């Protein structure tokens, strides 16, 4: 049951990230065509592409957490015994969880701080692009907790 929910959650995050990247590509293409072919650049397209890019980056970072695709230097860790490697992994995850909580808190604060500020071209609340920070960090936190606590307990039960 929980694995099925996690798969659905993963597909939703993947779909939003892929959609954001495709939309950003289409808007950027439109901007280039409008500017260089019709000599009539739009005022909103560059801004929208930038904000979608920020969202795609934070969603992609959460996907990278899920697939363990973030850069890491594990050369020195592999020199230790399995027991020490486990301890290093636990300490690393605790530090990472604390860092994500800190960034999430700061992301919420800055999002609330800029909620009344309007974007230059589209005149939308700047809370919309800034909300990518706490949203992406929350998704990273979920992926880290899943990997650190839930996945391992499910694998232990199945073994």
Dump pLDDT digits (tens) for 70-103: 777 778 888 899 999 889 988 988 999 999 999 9
What pTM value is reported for the model? 0.86
Residue at token pair 């992926």: 143
d(CA 3, CA 56): 25
Q: Distance between the two ends of the chain, CA-based, in angstroms?
A: 18
In 3D, which of 149, 146, 159 has the Cα closest to residue 3? Answer: 146
Query: Would you put residue 80 in left (φ > 0), alpha (ψ -120 to 50) or beta?
Result: beta
Name beta bridge partners: 125. Answer: 118
Q: DSSP alpha helices (H): ranges in the chain?
A: 2-32, 45-67, 82-113, 127-130, 132-145, 151-158
Answer yes or no: are the C-beta atoms of 42 and 30 closer than 8 Å: yes
Q: Tell me the per-residue pLDDT of 22-75, one tens digit each, with 9 for 90 and over.
A: 999 999 999 999 999 999 888 899 999 999 999 999 999 999 988 887 777 778
């Amino acid at each position: 049951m929980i694995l099925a929910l996690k798969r659905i959650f993963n597909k939703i995050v993947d779909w939003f990230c892929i959609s954001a990247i495709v939309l950003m590509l289409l808007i950027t293409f439109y901007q280039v065509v409008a500017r260089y072919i019709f000599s009539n650049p739009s005022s909103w397209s560059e801004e929208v592409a930038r904000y979608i890019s920020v969202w795609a980056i934070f969603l992609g970072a959460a996907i990278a957490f899920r697939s363990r695709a973030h850069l890491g230097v594990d050369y020195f860790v592999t020199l230790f015994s399995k027991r020490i490697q486990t301890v290093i992994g636990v300490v690393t995850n605790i530090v990472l969880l604390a860092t994500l909580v800190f960034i999430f808190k700061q992301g919420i604060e800055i999002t609330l701080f800029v909620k009344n500020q309007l974007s230059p071209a589209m005149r939308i609340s700047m809370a919309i692009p800034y909300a990518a920070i706490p949203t992406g960090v929350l998704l990273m936190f979920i992926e880290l907790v899943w990997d650190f606590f839930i996945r391992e307990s499910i694998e232990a039960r199945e073994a």
